[in-house]
Amino acid sequence: MPTKKSKKERFNRQGRKFKVEVDTNVMSIGLKVLAENAEVASGDPVFCESCNAVFNKFSKLEENKDQQVWN
């Protein structure tokens, strides 16, 4: 025996019916990460001797005879 689903009608202050829609563009972001301690690199910058480029997180290191070389 099929049952009818109850429908709730919503009204605004003027007594008019309005439609309730779902907003799918809402997301949840956890801000707990901001409270955690992060690793901070400190110290003087390292410059290339030939072109004065600064070593940073995008720089590549190569292994060369038990040492790391920055090109």
Domain annotation covers residue 32: no
Residue 5 lies in a domain: no
Model confidence band, residue 20 (pLDDT cutoffs 50, 70, 90) = low
Q: Classify 4 as helix, strand or coil.
A: coil
Total number of domains in the chain: 1
SS3 70: strand
Spell out the residues 6+ positions from residue 12 whose beta carbon is closer than 8 angstroms to its own.
18
Residue 25: inside a domain: no
Asked if residue 62 belongs to a domain, the reply is: yes
What is the pLDDT confidence band of residue 54, given thresholds at 50, 70 and 90? very high
User: Is residue 20 a part of any domain in this protein?
Assistant: no
Its domain, for residue 71, covers 45-71
Q: Is the pTM of this model over 0.75?
A: no
pLDDT digits over 27-51, tens only? Answer: 788 888 777 877 777 889 889 888 9
69 occurs within a structural domain: yes
SS3 letters for the chain? CCCCCCCCCEECCCCCEECCCCCCCCCCCCCHHHHCCCCCCCCCCCECCCCCCECCCCCCEEEECCEEEEC
